[in-house]
Chains A and B, each alone.
Chain A
Amino acid sequence: MSWEAVIGIEVHVELMTASKMFCGCAVEFGGEPNTRVCPTCLGLPGALPVTNRAAIESIMSIGLALGCEVSERSVFHRKNYFYADLPKNYQISQFDVPVCHDGHLDIEVDGETRRIGIERAHMEEDTGKSTHLGVGGRIQAAEGTLLDFNRSGVPLVEIVSRPDIRSATEARVYAQELRSVIAELGVSDVRLEEGSIRFDANVSIRPGEAEAYGTKVEIKNMNSFRSLERAVEYEIRRQTELVESGGVVVQETRHWDEEAGVTHSMRAKEGSSDYRYFTEPDLVPMVMSPEWVAQVGDRLPELPARRRARYLSQGLDVGAAGALSNLDGRLRAIYDEAVLAGAPAKAAANWLTGEVVGWLRKSGIAPEQLILGGHDLAELVSMVDGGAISSSAAKDVLDGVLSGEGSPREVAERRDLLQLSDTGALEAAVEQVLAANPKARDDLLAGEEKALGFLVGQVMKATQGRADPRAVNRILRDRVSS
């Protein structure tokens, strides 16, 4: 029997606003524990929250980027539960009126576009951080717990997909695409390792497309795209094997164990947990006027999907478009300028994703410090195409340009990399080589192609590689046919 997996993904994104969601404390990662705290984010008696407008603009831009509706009026709710790193023992979150709802994200898997529905994106606050002392850092064996509230109250956006994902690969691609959209918006630093973007997956299986959804299991603790994919894959297999051997999937939360490559049951739940949501009485409803939404919409940057489509229309293939799209904004700007200056899109993209990225990695220089203009790249490409320099010399030229030695032409001249394009000089070199290799000359005249390659090689050798092989080729062929 074949089973269909049904997957929904919940993503938490920490926003990098200047201050926290409901107080003036700074938002930063790490630092001396409990140094970025105040009465509000510590939940001291009497302290009150005040909504951070910049965070609301950030979630609006996320929602708009995902094609969501932005609610005209939205309210905060309290989600009540006791936990030591939740200072008020309730989280200010949203319940039935999220800021954004009903959007979608298109992903490409195996050359096919799949549209994944977005149910909602809502605003909430992050909790503090517990560090359990003693064996293994697990709460059960802890000798004590340290609490750091620097993260408490950091703005958090939760993005909930519809259960439209059908495979572990789709789950990974969805997460990657969502991360690149948010990175593009510049509202979060989306670092998986620092937890500024976190993924949970809801996984269930059913006998076929037409059937009702099976019991879902929530899996947590995936800290890379790879582990998300592995965990979902594992969970689909576990549920399939369980059901096929006559077992029943129970609704629960499972913890992904990266090392063992398995999920463990954390707690049976959801059905039984009751957060006693009610409207946060310390805050008034938010009003997102159409004018405000439009303003935020106007400021949206070009998003990855649209950008890739544009690259495809410029003649790049899917792989090149994807690779270029993932580059730093400064590199993409160089591409746009180069194309505008007349460079063929493919060549410009190849240079950037290949040589330029390699050079940056080697030199350790940040993209924004690059001294390469789009016109430089266009000139380089046209010099190669026009035979002024060889492809291998072009790499040296690029190095010179990136090192600040001048424009590609200046570098080529200064480093003596220009190809011999003087036909007279080339013809003389060809004559010399033909004279020195009579057997090859005869073979060539007899129409043997192999001899042509050999003779070109000899001419290149004689000119220390500065001859344009295409010109040499042409001259040799002319000799044969004349």
Chain B
Amino acid sequence: MLSEAEISEISEHARAIRETIIEMLVAAGSGHTAGPLGMADIFASFYFYILKHDPKNPDWPERDRLILSNGHIVPVRYAAMAHAGYFPVEECLTLRKFGSRLQGHPERTKLPGLETTSGPLGSGLGQAAGIAYGARMDLPAGRQVKTTFRVYCAMSDGEQDAGNIWESAMFAGNNKLSNLTAVIDRNNIQINGMTEDVMPVENLRAKYEAFNWHVIEVDGHNIKQFVDATDEAKAIYEKPTVIIAHTIPGKGIKEIEFDYTWHGKPPTKEEATKFLHELRTMQGKVVSEHQ
């Protein structure tokens, strides 16, 4: 069980990750803002509590695998990895720059610890299912449920438009890949507007249940709920689990929250100064501030 102290520690990491996201996006001059901010609590939970991993040994065979399917929110992953100790936080400022290991969309061969290459939507779940299936193949017959590591796959809700997702969902459900847990960032926005206006993805729960998945819905900013959901997934033996994490796009910065126009643009320098102040004072809760 998560203690209150652990929860506030993860929250503090999430806040630091959000700061880094704003700093790296301003330095890059392009990129996505809303998605990474909205997933900061979940990525902080992954890198500072859920994942079995070793930042100094990113190829450790028994590590849990976190597959990022919607590659455009990779700033949140880079920031979380840097804060977890995979590489210096300053390197985040090289995002999207020539020669950087931090490509605009993540590339497996460029930076240890990324697991896969992504950007074109819809292909992460299949890769995660392939890894989960491969790990299970190596188990002695009769012990088909307990692999040495778990596979997680983070997806977006807009990405649920893609056919490849449902091919992979069918495959994972059919093969009862209980070592696979998917997370859908249900922030209700995509580039052209609200998901239910562009191409409705609901009823997500009923769809995944029909594909033989165990479905859990959580508040994606409630760290305890999210961690508990990943624990619940470990106790489900006959199905893969999908956690539908309801999130607020741009979470942490009032001006960005809920606004789909922040999907694919970075803040300007002036905006960033304001946003960083907002993050550092915890939206006005902290009076003194050191910049």
Q: Are A and B bound to each other?
A: no
